[in-house]
Amino acid sequence: MQNAAGRPLSGVAVRFEVMEGGGWTTTADATTDAAGHAGTTWYLGPAPGSAQRLAVTLTTGGTAASFRATALPLKPDSTYLGRNSYIEFTAGSLPLVLSAPHGGTLAPAELPDRTSGETVRDENTLELARTIADTVRQRTGKRPHLVLSRISRTKLDPNRELGEAAEGNALAGIAWREWHGFLEAAREAVERAGGGLYIDLHGHGHAIGRAELGYLLSASDLALTDAQLNNATLEARSSVRALAGRTAGGLAAVLRGPYALGTLLQARGYPAIPASRSRTRPATRISRAATIPPGTAPGPAGRWMGSSWSCSDRD
C-alpha cells in the first residue's frame, strides 16, 4: 500500500474476506509492514469452475482491492500439499475416499503439544491407507482419493472440532482447515460422480486382533437381530444409510450380509466385526465407513458432516 506520493504506508490495518466460492484465508486481519505489504494465503472453494472472489478492505473503511479466481478441476494422481506438507491429498478418479487422521509422526516445534484429548498415534494407518490406494490402482487402473495427516496427534487432531483439535494455535488451525478443505474437495469430486464411499482409517489399542468396522452404531445395536436392525431409525443414524437404502436386505445386509465388508474380510482370513454370523461385542474404539449420497452438504467450516465424523469415546 502506498500514499499519493508513492511511498509505502506501514501500520495500516486491512481485512481479507472471501465473498464468493466458499474458500477461506489463513489470516483474516493483517497490518502493512514497512514496505506497505500485508498478505494472507487464499484457499479457493472446492467446486471446479465456480466463481471465487476475495475482498481486501481497510478497517477504517473503503475497499482496497478485490481479487477474482476460478477453481480448476482436480487432476487425478496429482498430490496436493498443505502448509509445510503437514496435510497431504492425492486426487483420485474413483468415487472412493480414504483418509487417515491419526497416523502422522511429524512433531514440529512451531506447534505446541496439545494438553487435552486423545494423543495416541494410530500406528501404521498412513502406511495402510497408501497400500490400499496403491492396490486399488493396480487392480482397477484408477486411484481413490487419499487424504493423510502427517502431523503427530500430539500436535493436532484433525478429526475433532477446531477448539479441541488445535487448542487455539493459529498454525495448527491452518492444518485443520486444510484437512477438511481437502476432504471437501474429494467430496465434491465424488458427488459429481453420483455418490460413493468414504472410509476413515483408525487403529485400536487392545489385544484382540481383528478389523473393527464402525458405522456409528453401538454394541447394543449390533447385537440386535437382522429384523430389529432393519428399522428406519437405526438406518438413518448409521453412516451407511444411503447404501442401506438401496441394498436388498437393508442395513443388516450391509453390516453382516454375505457381501458386507466384514464378511468379505473374514472370508479372506482376516477376523472382522461386524460380519456374517458374528455376534461378539465389539470394542469401543473403531474405524468408520460412510456412504456419500448425492447432495450431501458440508457442515460448518467445511467439515464433512452427515455421519462420518461422529466419534466413539476412544478414537
Task: Confirm if 242 and 293 have CB atoms less than 8 A apart.
Answer: yes
User: HSE-up of 104 (CA within 13 Å, CB side)?
Assistant: 27
Per-residue pLDDT at 62: 64
- Alpha-carbon distance values, 310 to 30, 164, 219, 275, 303 (Å): 35, 14, 15, 22, 12
**Is residue 84's pLDDT more than 90?**
yes
- Ranges 30-34, 82-86, 246-250, 311-315: which has the least confidence: 311-315
pLDDT of residue 300: 35
CATH class of residue range 79-200: alpha beta
pLDDT in tens, 109-161: 999 999 999 999 999 999 999 999 999 999 999 999 999 999 999 999 999 99
pLDDT number for residue 290? 55
For residues 196-202, give the mean pLDDT: 93
The yes-or-no verdict on residue 282 having pLDDT over 60 is no
- Mean pLDDT along residues 4-10: 85
Residue 261 CA to residue 310 CA, distance in Å, equals 20
Comma-separated ranges of CATH 3.40.630.40 domains in the chain = 79-200
pLDDT tier at 4, thresholds 50, 70, 90: confident
HSE (side-chain half, CA atoms, 13 Å) at 6: 0
Tell me the three cell numbers of residue 261.
465388508
- What is the pTM assigned to this prediction? 0.81
Tell me: pLDDT of 227 over 50.
yes
Return all residues near 34 (Cβ < 8 A) that are at least 6 apart. Answer: 8, 10
Q: How many CB atoms neighbour CB 15 within 10 A? A: 17
Tell me what the pLDDT averaged over the chain comes to.
Answer: 85
* Structure-block grid coordinates of residue 138: 493396480
CA distances from 40 to 43, 158, 225, 307 (A): 10, 22, 55, 33
**pLDDT at residue 270 above 80?**
yes
For residue 315, is pLDDT > 90? no
Q: What is the DSSP string of 24-93?
A: EES-SEEE--TTS-----EEPPSSTT-EEEEEEEETTSSEEEEEEEEPPPP-TT-EEE-GGG-EEEE--S
**Which range, 41-50, 157-166, 198-207, has the best average confidence (pLDDT)?**
157-166
Answer whether 55's CB lies under 8 Å from 44's CB. Answer: no
Is residue 207 scored above 60 in pLDDT?
Answer: yes
Percent of the chain with pLDDT over 90: 59
The answer on pLDDT for 292 being more than 70 is: no
Question: What is the distance between the alpha carbons of residues 71 and 181, in angstroms, rounded to a whole number?
Answer: 13
Q: Compute, in degrees rounded to 10, the torsion defined by CA atoms 28, 32, 35, 36.
A: 100
CA torsion, ordered 211, 212, 215, 217, to nearest 10 deg: 160
Rank 4-8, 108-112, 245-249 by mean pLDDT and report only the highest: 108-112
